[in-house]
Structure formats: structure tokens, C-alpha cells
Amino acid sequence: MYRKLRASVAALLCICLIFGMTATAFAQKSPTDTYGLDPLIENALAQKEEITDSANLGISKTFPTFPDIKKVVGDHSGDYVSRFVSAIYQFLEAVLKYIVAMISGFIPDSNNWVDLADYQSENFYKGHTEFLDEPTATSVWRLGYSQKSLIPDNFGTKPYYMGGYDIGKAMYSTYDDIKVRTICIDDGSGRGVSAFSVIDTVGLANSDVRQIRALLKDFAEENNIVSINVGVTHTHSGFDTQGIWAAQPETIVNAVSKNLLGLKTETSVDKELLEVLYTRTAASIREAFCNMEEGELYFAKKNAKDYFSDKSDPDIFIEDIYRFRFVPFGGGKETIIANFGAHPETVGLKTADNPGDVLSADFVYYTEEVINEAGYNFMYFQGAIGSLISTDRGLTGDGLSLNRYQQAVRYGEEIGYFILGMTLTEEECRTQVADADREAAGMAESDSYTLWYEGWTPVTETKVEPVFNVAFREFTYILDNPLTISVGKLGMANNIMLLDDKNNICTVTEVGFIEFGKDIKVVVMPGETAPELFLGGSTMTAEGSARGKDFVYPPLFDIFTDCELLTFNVTNDSAGYIVPDNDYGLATLRYSNGTLTYNADGMLSFGSSAASTLITEFLYLVREYR
């Protein structure tokens, strides 16, 4: 999420939705192994460290479980300093984990938890039962669009809390709108329609997604809707829909009391807000379905590296903006679908020139505004944002004197222009897309002002064949983060919490696999994925990681080499940071290439095997069909 939250009490609470666990389900395999996944999965499972004593995580132990320092130093492939730092880090990590687990032991168990043996999955949509390789005789793209405002009618008179920065930050005014945007899409093959909604909020629990699906159960059955998915833009200046930032001290006291009395606790998320979110999102899905029309789908991508930054180590991010463009045959309004990774976290931070308590969708609203003015519908799927992949506002700021809100506006506008102009020439961008008055005013104010389209090189847009395959997979995990267990006991969020036969605390989440045409695939992840899991990077290697081991899988871009591989993040759950196992820690310390670096991503993560487990589950899903 971001640096300030990590340094505050919110860091402890924010992991309420974060679950580190071990997966249990296996899929039936396709006869062919297109990507050679069987040996990759087998090798990964042989290497990954299984979670064994997660019920107590040290609570009942007299001393921490310290690593074998000799083995740590012996296994590490780095230089002597790297080995020494790794040994110190793993020793301190054991102490920290033990202390947090001890604290967790004093919190009584929640009465909300259900035995895993008694759990029955409801409102999960698997997607298509078979994948197509080629269009059928009836295949044609069909897409419908809808959007709804999610601001409650009584906003401004009742306090609603912001989700993303400080705890207890009430909001009474708004800069713009908080929306749900929805598309319903299929390929005309008769295998069923898929719905995708994205909400301007910081996160949403899997159980909240299932509540929305429940409202659509009959409608979905009547209309052959086989997949319903809800993601978020991850804005840090929207409503608290996770129950973390609205929590007050009395919330914790009340939860502990109820646990002791055998009563069930309730989420800290405002009930009226959830009702608005559930009903209006469901309404947008119904409307999008009814708006479906036939047309053609086009795809383009363009490098936009100057618009993003990574404030963590390694400094790595996916540099492209991906764009789908749906053109209806009837000449109606076209829809643009964008996908890239950047935290919308500018407006919510309180600074000397920014109040930080005004409701806003951040840059996303202003990107949409530009695209709407050009005559298109707009949909945005968040990409691989890791922990600190953010907007680089230097290029859009252009030396102008701007507060944080104004920076978000200009950034959003310029991203909108960028998306519209991807396939145009520099001259076409200037005459057909650029706002001449905006650029003239900027140049008059700043000598360092730059025109966004200067030196522009267009990219090619390709027509996507009408083949749409979608599949999702649900599975349980065993919690592997003592902070998660500590806060999970308070029952403040809406997550599904289960107890297995060994008294381990588990949860349920989902991953997904989508194919657009023959050459575009999408990894759907429930959390904020570290880009190096796709691209590779130093923390994927033994030499550059805190634990001195290679990650158990190669980068996903190296596995799926025959296609464009995209990722839709923070979808169908809010699972926190997904970081390589070999670089995981509540507080990670590493020494590589003469530099000592630190982060605390593990505090806001599933746990020590989050990345390998989620990738394994995704590869099982791919293997089922490919």
C-alpha cells in the first residue's frame, strides 16, 4: 500500500484482510501441457517451505524458532556481507514473529469462525467449463457497459471514513465521484457471459464480492452469466470498505468482550455504505448485461515508463499501458478498457497544502473525464502495483505550482490523453486529442513545461478474434502471518474465516485466468502483485533476496512467451502484498550490490508463501485448460 500507513498503527490493522496460507485444491489436467507447467509446479512444491505450526505461530513456545545460522550462511550464494546480513535478518525476524505471536495469544478467538469441515462454498462462479481455441460459426464480440455512483445519499451529513491513510479520518466533502464501472462480455459462442465490475475504493473482501453475487443469483441463472467478478481501483481517498480505517479503540475493546462472551463480532465497515455498494454494483451488472451489443474488439499497448515510479527496492515495474477498444456494429458509443499498475494515492495524504480528508477517486476520475469527453465509455483494471508502484507526477506537473489534488487531476488528464492517442501520430495527437487551452496556459506559467505528445511515436492496434475464455479457482489457505491472526481475531473485516481440524485459521480466496482471442492472456490476482513476479528482478534471485534463495518459479513472462500477459490485481478479494517467498519478512533486510535495503511489505501480506501459493494455484488453473 504505501509508506505512511506502514509506519503508523494502521499498518497493524490494515492486514486484517491479508491471509498467508497453504492451498489445498487440485485441478483435473488438460491432456496437453502447453507451457510445460507440470515440471515447474513439481519443482516448486518440492522447494517451497510448507506451513506447519500456524495455529500457534510460537504462542505456546518457550523460545522463538531460530534459523540454523550455519545453514543460512552455507546456503546463501552471495558474498560474506550478504550472508551476514541475511543471517542477522532471519534471526531478528524470528524474534519479531515470536513477539507478535505472543501478543496474539492474549486475544481470545473469534466466535465468527466456522469449522472448515462445515464450510459450504456459495456464490462462487467458476467461469467456462471448456475453453475454445478458435472462433465458432456464431462467434462475435458482445459487450455492455454501465456505471453507478456509490456515494450514499446522506453523505455530508453523516461521517464516513476514508480508507487508505490515517485511522478515523471522517469525510464530509468530495472533490469528484466514487463509482462502480461494469462491463459484461462474451464471444457469442453460447458458453456464457462474464461480468466485471471495478469500484473506486481501497479494497473489498471476498465475502463482500459473494454478497454482490448473491443479489444476482437468479438473474445470472436466467441469463447464462457464468462469471461475476468485482475488483477495485485501490484509491487511497475513497471510503473505508475494509473496516480498517474506521476502527476506533472502542471497536477493539468491544470485539474482545464479545469474543469472551461467546458472541459474534461485526465488521467496522459502515452498514449503509455496504448496502449502497452491494445494491448499486448489482444494478450496474444487470444494466451492463441489458446494454450488450455486438461489435469488434481491438488491442494496443504503449510504453509509458515516465508516468510510473517504484519507491521500493528493486525499482521495477511494468512499463506498458494496455488498451482494449470495443466498437459496436450499430455505431453506438465505444468502450475503452485500460490496464496498468499505479497506486491512486495522491489525494488522501494530508500535507501542508492538502487537507487529506476529501473524498476522491484520485486520478482515475480525471482519466475517465478526458475519455468520456472524447465520446467513449471508460473501464480501468488495476495492474501489478506491488507495494509502492505509484504515479510519477513529475512529467505531468511540468514545473507548475500544484497541490496534491491538482497533481492528481493533471496526472489523470494526461493519462487519458495518452490512452486516446496511443495509435495516433504526433500531429494527430496535437489536433485531435490535446487540450490546446490547457497546454497554452501551462507553457505561459512554466518555462520547463513539456507537451505530452512531443516526440510521439504511434503504436499499432490489432483486431482481437472473438474468442473469450474465462476460468476462476477458489481455494483455502492456512494463515501464516501473526499480525493477520492478531487482527483477524477481532473480526473487524468481512473475510471468510475458517478453522481446520488442527485448529489452524484459514480463509478462502480466488485466482483467475482469462484469454482474449488467441494472443492475450490475463492473470487475475486477489492482491497487489510485485512486478518482479512477472518481469524478474534481483529479489527473485538468491544473490539479491533477503533469504539468499532463488524464488521457486521463473518470472511469469518467461513462462508465457507466446502471448501478451496482463494482470488484473485486487480482484475478488483484498489480499495485500504478493511478494516473492525468498524475500518475505515482516521487516525485510537485505544487502546486495553494496547496498543495504529495507522494507516491511510482509506486514501487509498473505504470509511467507503467498506468492508461490497463488502462482501455483494460477498455474493449476491454466493447466486445467491448457
Residue 11 reports pLDDT greater than 80: no
- Listed as own residue / partner, the contacts of 329-332 with beta carbons closer than 8 Å and 24 or more positions apart are 329/293, 329/294, 329/295, 329/296, 330/293, 330/294, 330/295, 332/293
**pLDDT (0 to 100) of residue 74:** 64
Residue 525 reports pLDDT greater than 90: yes
Torsion of Cα atoms, 243 then 271 then 349 then 237, to 10°: 120
Distance CA 488, CA 172 (A): 29
Distance, CA of 465 to chain centre: 28
DSSP secondary structure letter of residue 8: S
Give the H/E segment covering residue 199: strand 193-199
- Total residues belonging to the chain: 626
Residue 368 reports pLDDT greater than 70: yes
Among 371, 282, 268, residue whose Cα is nearest residue 324: 371
Residue 50 reports pLDDT greater than 50: yes
**pLDDT (0 to 100) of residue 77:** 67
Residue 54 reports pLDDT greater than 80: no
HSE-CB of 399 using CA atoms within 13 angstroms: 12
**Mean pLDDT, range 394-419, rounded to an integer:** 92
**pLDDT (0 to 100) of residue 617:** 97
Identify which has the larger pLDDT, 289 or 46. Answer: 289
pLDDT tens digit sequence for 123-153? 999 999 999 999 999 999 999 999 999 999 9
Distance CA 129, CA 440 (A): 55
Identify which has the larger pLDDT, 522 or 55. Answer: 522
C-alpha cell at 88: 542477522
pLDDT tens digit sequence for 152-210? 999 999 999 999 988 889 999 999 999 999 999 999 999 999 999 999 999 999 999 99
Most confident of 82-96, 255-269, 392-406, 552-566: 552-566
Look over the chain and give the mean of its residue pLDDT values, rounded to a whole number: 89
Distances (CA, A) of 153 to 149, 242, 277, 596: 10, 20, 12, 51
Least confident interval from 114-118, 307-311, 603-607 = 603-607
pLDDT tens digit sequence for 324-351? 999 999 999 999 999 999 999 999 999 9
Judged by DSSP in three states, 309 sits in strand
**Mean pLDDT, range 567-579, rounded to an integer:** 95
**Mean pLDDT, range 600-608, rounded to an integer:** 82
**pLDDT (0 to 100) of residue 39:** 95
Q: What is the 3-state secondary structure (H, E, C) of 35-100?
A: CCHHHHHHHHHHHCCCCCCCCCCCCCCCCCCCCCHHHHHHHCCCCHHHHHHHHHHHHHHHHHHHHH
Least confident interval from 108-112, 373-377, 455-459, 565-569 = 108-112
**pLDDT (0 to 100) of residue 7:** 41
Q: Say how many Å lie between the first and final Cα of the chain, rounded.
A: 34
Judged by DSSP in three states, 334 sits in strand
**Mean pLDDT, range 550-563, rounded to an integer:** 97
User: What are residue 196's DSSP bridge partners?
Assistant: 183, 229
**pLDDT (0 to 100) of residue 4:** 42
Judged by DSSP in three states, 228 sits in strand
Helix, strand, coil percent values for the chain (each to nearest 5) = 35, 25, 45
Distance CA 552, CA 582 (A): 8
Axis crossing angle, helix 271-290 with helix 206-215, rounded to the nearest 10 = 50
**pLDDT (0 to 100) of residue 63:** 54
Q: Is the dihedral of CA 560, 561, 564, 565 positive or negative?
A: positive
Distance CA 440, CA 179 (A): 32
Distance CA 203, CA 376 (A): 26
